[in-house]
Amino acid sequence: MTVLIVDDDPLVSMSLKTIVEADDDITVCGTGNCAAEAVRLYVQLHPDILLMDIRMGSETGLDAGKEILRNEADARILYLTTFADDDYIIEALRIGAKGYLLKQKFECIVPALKAVNAGQTVFGEDITARIPSYFGNVRPDFTAYGLTERESGLLEFIAEGLSNKEIATRVFLSEGTVRNCVSTMLEKLHLHGRTQLAVFYYKCGRGQ
């Protein structure tokens, strides 16, 4: 796996490089220090994942992410920032970032990179817990995605953070039936894991 690291603090970039390359499966193919460099280096190096800060002077990592994703929709961008700013998190969700982590969670970086490389979306627990409050009580219509009425109802419970056992109790189904429904939804939506289902629920609710 190749990773491009962009952070406006060169010391942070080098520290992240050291942390990431401690894993034998990851190679840092380049580092940058601003949004313009993020775009230029991404085009030049074609990394598997772009690990990027958000606040980087006049242009942000979100600006760079929008430009990159406009030209390459499959780009995998993982934001790593000090700021748990609601507007930043919502924008990262909107543009299609694959994850948003706080820099205080250094131990999560390598596992998050591997999860993103495997096709998953990664938001730290503290971020995921706040997602529902961003979008209000929206009930999206999932019929266009091939979900049944039962699956749509279960998806809402997943978005609320309920476990299979808790959902089973709510809807009077066996835990095994709920588990099978979750697997079916993941297959239909081409997603990986409950966090991606939750993110999908709220993004769809905003008409994304």
188 lies in some domain: yes
Whole domain around residue 184: which residue ranges?
132-205
Does 110 lie in the same domain as 15?
yes
127 lies in some domain: no
Number of domains present in the structure of the chain: 2
145 lies in some domain: yes
The count of other CB atoms within 10 Å of the CB of residue 59 is: 14
Say how far apart CA 107 and CA 110 lie, in whole Å.
7
The whole-number pLDDT of residue 66 equals: 93
Beta-carbon contacts of residue 87 (< 8 Å; ≥ 6 apart): none
| Mean pLDDT in residue range 159-164 | 85
The whole-number pLDDT of residue 48 equals: 97
Domain holding 149: CATH number?
A: 1.10.10.10
pLDDT in tens, 54-107: 988 788 999 999 999 988 988 999 998 887 677 787 788 778 888 888 887 778
